[in-house]
Structure 1
Amino acid sequence: MNKTTHPPHTNKQASAVALIPFLVFIGVYLGSGIILDLKGVKMAFYQFPAPLASVIGIVTAFIILRGSFNEKIATFIKGCGDSNIIMMCIIYLMAGGFSSVSKAMGGIDATVNLGLTFIPAKYIAVGIFIITAFISLATGSSVGSIVAVGPIAIPAAQMSGSNLALVMGCVLCGAMFGDNLSIISDTTIAATRTQGVAMKDKFRINFWITLIPALLTIILLLFFGKPESVIPLQTHNFQIIKVLPYLFVLITAIAGLNVFAVLLGGTVLAGLIGIFYGDLTFMSMMTASYDGFKGMTDIFLLSLLTGGLAEMVKHAGGINFLLNQIQKIIRGKKSAQLGIGLLASLTDIAVANNTVAIIIDGEVSKEICQEYHVDPRKSAALLDIFSCIFQGLIPYGAQMLILTGFAKGQVSPFHVLPYTWYIYLLAIFGVLAIFIPYADRKLNKDPWNFQTNTPQSQSQDPLTYEES
């Protein structure tokens, strides 16, 4: 077992009171959703703006935490201005711009039509899973993928004689595949920036954990997803060149190109293709980019404000108190990883937003990594995986609500849940990857230096931890 060489957190300042602002934030966000849901409001958990819930938590912190007003302001601004927080916010904006321009020039329609044209009707379920997985992987948005594919997948299922709930489960699973794995998804950005790791490193670990569940899902759908009576589907028009921006972003990001260059290059390529084919003008491209920026306003503000709130809570000893409690059930490196996964799962169930869950848990997970020498690249993958698992399963999540809304009452979330095969398999292999670390080969070749908080290949300092 790996051993730590620094004193335990029990020797540091710890305060249960310091956690109250965080609890207020979560309570307001969750409580408003429950109340609105009881009143029958649609999308109840998404009505109260999350940034305002964090503001209420911040106000609570200013009221109850010790110190002068100027000291609290300085701590709050320090958290908001953290380099990881600022970088995360800028990446959100650029990812929004890329997705918006690509959609405006017809990239999503081209991808969906390309798939439906070449998929035999008897394999519509597996085809829908692959199409949605590609779109969510390319755009980084599970909701956006469901919105793009759902209205097409449901009538395609009905026309081909397929099980409607099964096909809807395929849409949901494909959407969560990309939400979890995509280089430019909100969850990846939040997980990598809060843990201080490179996106390509998290992707490599995440890929090996998700690969087997995805392949098994495809095999299951090939054998058990065929309709009893097959009705041929009509062909669709598409221009394959409009898929290129998504491929460009995927390939260059995996190759290790700087994420800002990846997103800027993808946006420019999408814009040029749109202009060439007459779908965009220079001005409409700029407008689409800015619309993408505006679409990220909520998560931008939430990340910024929560960064400040987390710093105040940490400074007052709240994070150390939580770690002290977690340490009572953690016995080593593997149980520490389980703790990170459990933390992400429970938080997502509570707030019904996987990105919010990762932002809330990021600082605690980072401290657990430091305490138990869990590689933060693995931690980033676990945060993303387990938050996405439950985001896809909770009946009150945006993904499930939007998807079932397209069925106009024919199918409920509880009809879809038995067919979310990929998500269940991902949960199994997520746990297996902790006890049988088959996805850690890259990590072992370049271990993490906990002294410098960088991979050893990027550090000039010797390793400062013992290995079993």
Structure 2
Amino acid sequence: MKESPAPHIPARRGLLAISPILVFLFFYLAVSVIIGDFYKMPIAVALLLGSAWAVVIMHGKPLSERVEIFSRDAGSSNVMYMVWIFILAGAFAALAREIGAIEATVHLALRFLPVEMLIPGLFAAACFISLAIGTSVGTVVALTPLAVELAQSESGNVPFFVAVVLGGAFFGDNLSFISDTTIAATRTQGCRMRDKFRVNLWIALPAAVASLILYVILGVRLPDMASLSGSNPLLVAPYLLIILLALAGLNVTVVLSIGIVVAIILGLCTGHDIISLFGFMGRGIDSVGQLIIITLLAAGMLGLIKAAGGIDYILQVLTRRIRGPRGAQAGIALVVGLVNLCTANNTVAIITVGQLASSLSKRFGVDPRKAASLLDTSSCIVQSLIPYGAQTLLATSLASISPVATWPYLYYPWALAVFLILSVVFRFPRLATISPPVSTNDNTNP
């Protein structure tokens, strides 16, 4: 059932209400452009300035009530659930990496792929690893050094090999059950992770297959894989367990907790002491601290914007030309892509646009599973194509090449963009039924 239209909001009031977003984007973009580095100006600081401005401009309420609105939305059960998952995912990722699970996964994936084809093998390995660990950054760290070594031993086209890794890394970042983008997209749209995965697969899998076929046609051969042997294949167990348990429908916090326990047991069996393992987990939790702060600030700022009528005003402007579900889907993809372009952070973009996307979906009858898929996929496309994204900067830094050097070879992101557009135009997949919304207290399924 569609929502009733929101009351008309005058342009002056509406622009003032959404001005905290403009303040945030101005400080982040202006400073970044001036100094020529999109990671010198911390996103958290820009969000803090936007949040402070949101408190200042909210008239008609005492300061204590404005702060209460900010705190209530920042500390909502939905946001806190995401924070818990971020903490568990950070601990698991760091623990698995330190005990050698990433290295073992890389070696095992490459060993069982056709050894005569380097490019398809590297791309498939990146897809598998990123799907298992839920982070494109972790995949880049694991595979880029290997890609550079293989490129130098073969054709010498390092940017091409690095682009293959980046494409595969974003495949899993877009689909993984433990990816922060998946968590943010599904929680903001009120759908289950496995349902969003099935919808998303209709877009991401054809793009990956098309890219894989292209890499097979390119047909570069692998060098001798003997140097990749020697890893303990049992160390792949935590990643395989994460995928199997998540696909079985277990709660994501339970899945991650089991993964952590299994990783600790394997770590003890391979010579690590318990204190060192706890230290690895602690560093992993510390690594998601900035993401948690960003999540809290963005949620609180958007709470103030909503209370001031900003969300209703944005909806009012955006829906003037939207006519039906197809236009709403295009609007969701466009808005999250534009925000990602400005912030260079796909999780922040999804959190920022999530509430707006949910309102559009309800008004125009877009299935929440499709809305979550559009949010995640569109932000993933933009994040993978911008040369100032964290993943691209990290990969090109490890490879000692220019951040723009990989751009001509990013085949998978462009293929993903094509299938995203086709999914909006032809409205696929056709979703017969809508799963019950996930309430803030219903955490029985990932």
User: TM-score normalised to the size of structure 1?
Assistant: 0.89
Q: How much has 1:234 moved relative to structure 2?
A: 3.8
* Residues 241-264 of structure 1, C-alpha deviations (whole Å, 9 max, x = no match): 111110111111122101110000
1:291 paired with 2:291, answer: no
- SS of 1:16's equivalent in the other structure is helix
1:398 paired with 2:390, answer: yes
Tell me how far apart the structure 2 counterparts of residues 394 and 153 of structure 1 sit (CA, whole Å): 21
Question: Among 255, 260, 268, which residue is 2:261 paired with?
Answer: 268
- Cα gap change, 1:102/1:5 in structure 2, threshold over 3 Å: closer, same or farther? closer
1:447 paired with 2:405, answer: no
Structure 1 regions of 5+ residues with no counterpart? Answer: 38-43, 459-468
1:247 paired with 2:240, answer: yes
* Residues 435-461 of structure 1, C-alpha deviations (whole Å, 9 max, x = no match): 323334xx41x3257xxx569xx9xxx
Tell me how far apart the structure 2 counterparts of residues 232 and 283 of structure 1 sit (CA, whole Å): 38
1:336 paired with 2:328, answer: yes
Q: How much has 1:75 moved relative to structure 2?
A: 0.9
Counterpart position of 1:40: none
Tell me how far apart the structure 2 counterparts of residues 7 and 211 of structure 1 sit (CA, whole Å): 37
Question: Among 406, 410, 416, which residue is 1:420 paired with?
Answer: 410
Counterpart position of 1:373: 365
Counterpart position of 1:32: 31
Counterpart position of 1:191: 185
1:167 paired with 2:161, answer: yes
Counterpart position of 1:277: 270
Tell me how far apart the structure 2 counterparts of residues 121 and 34 of structure 1 sit (CA, whole Å): 45
1:65 paired with 2:55, answer: no
Counterpart position of 1:181: 175
Please say if residues 75 and 312 of structure 1, whose CA atoms lie closer than 8 Å, have aligned partners that are also in contact: yes
* Residues 354-390 of structure 1, C-alpha deviations (whole Å, 9 max, x = no match): 1111111111111111211211111111100000001
- Cα gap change, 1:117/1:233 in structure 2, threshold over 3 Å: closer, same or farther? same
Q: How much has 1:11 moved relative to structure 2?
A: 4.2
Tell me how far apart the structure 1 counterparts of residues 118 and 426 of structure 2 sit (CA, whole Å): 34
- SS of 1:46's equivalent in the other structure is coil
Please say if residues 2 and 362 of structure 2, whose CA atoms lie closer than 8 Å, have aligned partners that are also in contact: no
Q: How much has 1:32 moved relative to structure 2?
A: 2.5
The amino acid that maps onto 2:4 is P
* Residues 279-323 of structure 1, C-alpha deviations (whole Å, 9 max, x = no match): x22111211111111110011111112111111000000111111
Please say if residues 164 and 410 of structure 2, whose CA atoms lie closer than 8 Å, have aligned partners that are also in contact: yes
Counterpart position of 1:346: 338
Counterpart position of 2:428: 438
Tell me how far apart the structure 2 counterparts of residues 217 and 5 of structure 1 sit (CA, whole Å): 39
Q: How much has 1:433 moved relative to structure 2?
A: 1.5
1:326 paired with 2:328, answer: no
The amino acid that maps onto 2:64 is N
The amino acid that maps onto 2:41 is F
Tell me how far apart the structure 2 counterparts of residues 92 and 433 of structure 1 sit (CA, whole Å): 30
Tell me how far apart the structure 2 counterparts of residues 135 and 454 of structure 1 sit (CA, whole Å): 28
Tell me how far apart the structure 2 counterparts of residues 187 and 397 of structure 1 sit (CA, whole Å): 15
Counterpart position of 1:212: 206
* Residues 124-175 of structure 1, C-alpha deviations (whole Å, 9 max, x = no match): 1111111111111111111111111101111112113363332111101011
Tell me how far apart the structure 1 counterparts of residues 9 and 275 of structure 2 sit (CA, whole Å): 55
Tell me how far apart the structure 2 counterparts of residues 118 and 92 of structure 1 sit (CA, whole Å): 32
Counterpart position of 1:238: 231
- SS of 1:438's equivalent in the other structure is coil
Q: How much has 1:112 moved relative to structure 2?
A: 1.5
| Number of equivalenced pairs | 436
Counterpart position of 1:99: 93
Counterpart position of 1:48: 41
Q: How much has 1:115 moved relative to structure 2?
A: 3.3
The amino acid that maps onto 1:128 is L
1:17 paired with 2:11, answer: no
Structure 2 regions of 5+ residues with no counterpart? Answer: none
The amino acid that maps onto 2:434 is P
The amino acid that maps onto 1:19 is I
Q: How much has 1:328 moved relative to structure 2?
A: 1.6
Please say if residues 2 and 365 of structure 2, whose CA atoms lie closer than 8 Å, have aligned partners that are also in contact: no
Counterpart position of 1:223: 217
Please say if residues 156 and 233 of structure 1, whose CA atoms lie closer than 8 Å, have aligned partners that are also in contact: no
Please say if residues 120 and 232 of structure 1, whose CA atoms lie closer than 8 Å, have aligned partners that are also in contact: no
Give me the identity figure in percent: 39
- SS of 2:405's equivalent in the other structure is helix
The amino acid that maps onto 1:256 is G
The equivalences for 1:110-149 within 5 A come to 110-119=104-113, 122-149=116-143
Q: How much has 1:232 moved relative to structure 2?
A: 3.5
Question: Among 5, 8, 16, which residue is 1:8 paired with?
Answer: 5
Tell me how far apart the structure 1 counterparts of residues 9 and 20 of structure 2 sit (CA, whole Å): 20
Tell me how far apart the structure 2 counterparts of residues 429 and 141 of structure 1 sit (CA, whole Å): 22
- SS of 1:85's equivalent in the other structure is helix
Tell me how far apart the structure 2 counterparts of residues 116 and 423 of structure 1 sit (CA, whole Å): 22
Q: CA RMSD in A?
A: 2.0
1:382 paired with 2:362, answer: no
* Residues 401-456 of structure 1, C-alpha deviations (whole Å, 9 max, x = no match): 221222323xx34432222111111111112122323334xx41x3257xxx569x
The amino acid that maps onto 1:104 is E
User: TM-score normalised to the size of structure 2?
Assistant: 0.93
- SS of 1:437's equivalent in the other structure is coil
Counterpart position of 1:86: 80
* Residues 177-227 of structure 1, C-alpha deviations (whole Å, 9 max, x = no match): 111111111111111111122211111111222111111111111111426
- Cα gap change, 1:49/1:182 in structure 2, threshold over 3 Å: closer, same or farther? same
Please say if residues 186 and 355 of structure 1, whose CA atoms lie closer than 8 Å, have aligned partners that are also in contact: yes
Tell me how far apart the structure 2 counterparts of residues 305 and 234 of structure 1 sit (CA, whole Å): 49
Q: How much has 1:10 moved relative to structure 2?
A: 3.9
